[in-house]
Chain A
Amino acid sequence: MKDKLFDYIEKDNFVFNLSGMTKLLCFLILTFTVMFSYDARVIAGVLIFSFWVLHVSEIRFSQIRVMLYYVLVFLAINFVLTFVFSPQYGVEIYGTKHELFTISGRYVMTREQLLYQGTKVLKYLSVIPLGMLFLLTTNPSEFAASLSSIGVSYKASFAVALTLRYFPDMIRDYNDIALSQQARGLDLSKKERLGTRLKNVMNIFVPLIFSSLDRVETVSNAMDLRSFGKHKKRTWYAFKPLKKADGAAFAVSIVIALISLGMTFFVNHGRFWNPFIS
């Protein structure tokens, strides 16, 4: 088990020097653009753009390798399941039918289905670099500041900051407890029956959760004693002031979103790009 959620390695380049607020906004704008659009051309554009930004930000492949594997496995399962459950969904969406080959019964592969599932794969692939860019290039201390600067209540933002702060502690506690319980003969693997396994999980949870509740008590007392939450607003030590580059990055994201919306409303007249209508 990793003892860190992700590695933040500071670098000095365009992407790292942007304010966390800009990166969060751009991430949200671009992911919503990709999620909304079903136009393979727009999505492929965003995919290439986001991999280019990933290159500019000097994130190494080793930092995102594990995630890439997870997503590929997920995509493969989703691809098969979609076809098994709805082999004619593409036909339903696009309203045309071009058969390629028949597998059996209603399982007829059509060009529409291939386009639909291919677009979906592109969609999910193109959001990975976007998420990575935000996660790996933003100082964790700046997370809360950027959330609160886009209008999230500072108390909720502070909860996120606490989550990131206490995650490594929780992993350490969990490992300590799990190892000492396993040394006493506790088995969590498939060799045990389901009921016994749940009971064994409880033997780890009880100490873990009760010690966390004690920690909640300690930390909230410490914060109360320092008058947390007295005022309506607060300032953030880690907040980076906005510069010209932030405006530029924001403008680029808005332009991409507008292109996508323009394609939706004026070219495709709907969320789906259908090249099969002649």
Chain B
Amino acid sequence: MKKLFEFKTKTIVATGIGAALFTLLFMFVKVPTGIPETDIQTAYGVGSFFAAMFGPIAGFLIAFIGHALSDAVQYGSPWWSWVIASGVSCCIVGLVYPKLKVDEGICTGKDLIRFNVFQIAANVISWVIVAPVLDIVIYSEPANLVFTQGAVAALWNAISMGVIGSLLLFLYSKTRSGKGSLSKE
């Protein structure tokens, strides 16, 4: 039985390596959409996959550390409101973790729908509510600007998580052999 908030050695290592991946993808691997300054961040797809595999704490820390680190390296200092929103989004996706059995080789259509419901909820909560509100509270940014930015971010990140996250879960389940897959001849 998987517990929601366990923090084993494996969770820690997955967090560290996941955050390294997240930083790398966040900085270098964006899919241009044709609209300037709005690339699809592939990092969120991978972040949601790790969150679904290792739970909400790992998800939160992966996105938080990854986003803070890449901001710090690119802009000199993290943009805290969006860093926190990133963490929250992957944390909420991580809530689906106890229900999935991907590492036992099981990934049905129902599991994928469940994952997608969680990720869409996560993106709406974090980018349309958390990020703009923190922007206004911490940085006193104008409200209509940050809510527009938030809505655009929610859409692209939901696409990233929906496509990349679901595909990775499905493909990974194919590489795992399930419980009791051996039969006596």
Q: Which chain A residues have a beta carbon within 8 Å of chain B's beta carbons?
A: 1, 5-6, 31, 35-36, 38, 64, 67-68, 70-71, 74, 77, 81-82, 85-86, 89, 93, 120, 123, 127-132, 135, 155-156, 158-167, 169-171, 174, 188, 190, 194, 197-198, 201-202, 204-206, 208-210, 212-213, 215-217, 219-220, 223-224, 228-229, 271
Asked whether, in the complex, the Cβ of B168 is within 8 Å of the Cβ of A209, the reply is yes
List B56-115 residues whose CB lies under 8 Å from chain A.
61, 65-66, 69, 72-78, 80
- Residues of A contacting B: mostly: helix
C-alpha gap A131/B74 in the complex (Å): 10
Q: Which chain B residues have a beta carbon within 8 Å of chain A's beta carbons?
A: 7-10, 12-21, 23-24, 28-29, 31-34, 37, 40, 42, 45-46, 49, 53, 61, 65-66, 69, 72-78, 80, 138-145, 148, 163-164, 167-168, 171-172, 175
Asked whether, in the complex, the Cβ of B72 is within 8 Å of the Cβ of A135, the reply is yes
From the candidates B7, B21, B76, name the one contacting A71 in the complex (CB within 8 A).
B76
Do A190 and B61 form a contact, CB below 8 Å, given A74-B75, A131-B72? Answer: no
Nearest-CB residue, chain B, relative to A272: B140
C-alpha gap A134/B17 in the complex (Å): 23
- Residues of B contacting A: mostly: helix
C-alpha gap A277/B14 in the complex (Å): 55
C-alpha gap A194/B140 in the complex (Å): 35
From the candidates B33, B40, B74, name the one contacting A70 in the complex (CB within 8 A).
B74
Asked whether, in the complex, the Cβ of B20 is within 8 Å of the Cβ of A132, the reply is no
Asked whether, in the complex, the Cβ of B31 is within 8 Å of the Cβ of A201, the reply is yes
Chain A residues with CB under 8 A of B34: 190, 194
User: Given A163-B23, A213-B53, A223-B12, 6 more contacts at CB 8 Å?
Assistant: A31-B77, A131-B78, A160-B16, A163-B17, A201-B42, A220-B14
Asked whether, in the complex, the Cβ of B20 is within 8 Å of the Cβ of A86, the reply is no
Asked whether, in the complex, the Cβ of A216 is within 8 Å of the Cβ of B13, the reply is yes
C-alpha gap A198/B141 in the complex (Å): 33
C-alpha gap A164/B19 in the complex (Å): 9
12 residue pairs from A and B, CB less than 8 Å apart: A35-B139, A38-B140, A67-B75, A68-B76, A123-B139, A131-B75, A158-B16, A159-B16, A174-B28, A197-B31, A209-B168, A220-B10
Chain A residues with CB under 8 A of B75: 67, 70-71, 74, 128, 131
C-alpha gap A89/B135 in the complex (Å): 15
Asked whether, in the complex, the Cβ of A212 is within 8 Å of the Cβ of B141, the reply is no
Asked whether, in the complex, the Cβ of B31 is within 8 Å of the Cβ of A198, the reply is yes
CB A4 to nearest CB in B, in angstroms, measures 10
From the candidates B9, B37, B74, B80, name the one contacting A67 in the complex (CB within 8 A).
B74
CB B46 to nearest CB in A, in angstroms, measures 6
CB B114 to nearest CB in A, in angstroms, measures 21
Nearest-CB residue, chain A, relative to B54: A216
From the candidates B17, B49, B175, name the one contacting A219 in the complex (CB within 8 A).
B17
Do A216 and B17 form a contact, CB below 8 Å, given A70-B75, A127-B77, A130-B77? Answer: yes
Chain B residues with CB under 8 A of A174: 24, 28-29
Asked whether, in the complex, the Cβ of A205 is within 8 Å of the Cβ of B15, the reply is no
Asked whether, in the complex, the Cβ of B19 is within 8 Å of the Cβ of A159, the reply is yes
C-alpha gap A271/B139 in the complex (Å): 11
Chain B residues with CB under 8 A of A129: 76
C-alpha gap A36/B21 in the complex (Å): 32
Greatest chain B CB density within 10 A among A77, A86, A188 is at A86
Asked whether, in the complex, the Cβ of B172 is within 8 Å of the Cβ of A210, the reply is yes
From the candidates B9, B21, B72, name the one contacting A223 in the complex (CB within 8 A).
B9
List the 9 closest A-B pairs by CB distance, nearest first.
Answer: A162-B16, A128-B76, A86-B142, A131-B77, A85-B145, A127-B77, A159-B15, A131-B76, A220-B13
Asked whether, in the complex, the Cβ of B15 is within 8 Å of the Cβ of A64, the reply is no
C-alpha gap A120/B175 in the complex (Å): 50
C-alpha gap A129/B144 in the complex (Å): 30
From the candidates B14, B33, B141, name the one contacting A216 in the complex (CB within 8 A).
B14
Asked whether, in the complex, the Cβ of B31 is within 8 Å of the Cβ of A127, the reply is no
Chain A residues with CB under 8 A of B69: 5, 163
